[in-house]
Amino acid sequence: MIIDFHTHVFPERIAATTISTLEKSGKIKAFSNGTADALLSNMERSGVDISVNLPVLTKPAQFDSILKFAVSLNERAALTPEGKGKIISFAGIHPDTEDYKEKLWRVKESGILGIKIHPDYQNTFFDDDRYVRIFLYG
């Protein structure tokens, strides 16, 4: 079994804009258009069995929409003919989230297996106290 443990998938309505922004900031061409369908197609061509989607919150206000999208990806994956996920999505949390305890409970209650943090895109360091409080609570 081959698992790609670091992929990014975006809702179709923002995928093109997001990919364009990331290509410019990273100075690199994206491998796909950033949609779940493109990822599934690439997985099939390359022999990947499961991909893990790791969303990044660049601001606390994105929590609800990203959690909703992650849950929808996991529900879609559960409907595959094999009855098991092809794409498994984590949730994300931003270090500036004030009600982080409530947010972490919502992630857990939704069945999401983990969260993604990304210090570079969240303008902080890994050992920042705002992350530490999340790690210790979670």
Rounded distance between C-alpha atoms, residue 52 and residue 113, angstroms? 10
Rg (CA), the chain: 15
What residue has token string 């997001």?
18
The pLDDT of residue 25 is 87
Distance CA 9, CA 46 (A): 17
pLDDT in tens, 78-87: 766 653 568 9
> In the predicted model, is pLDDT for residue 99 greater than 50?
yes
Overall average pLDDT of the 94-120 stretch: 95
pLDDT at 115: 96
- Quick: pLDDT tens for 50-69: 999 999 999 999 999 999 99
* CA–CA distance, 7 with 87 (Å, rounded to integer): 9
pTM for this prediction: 0.88
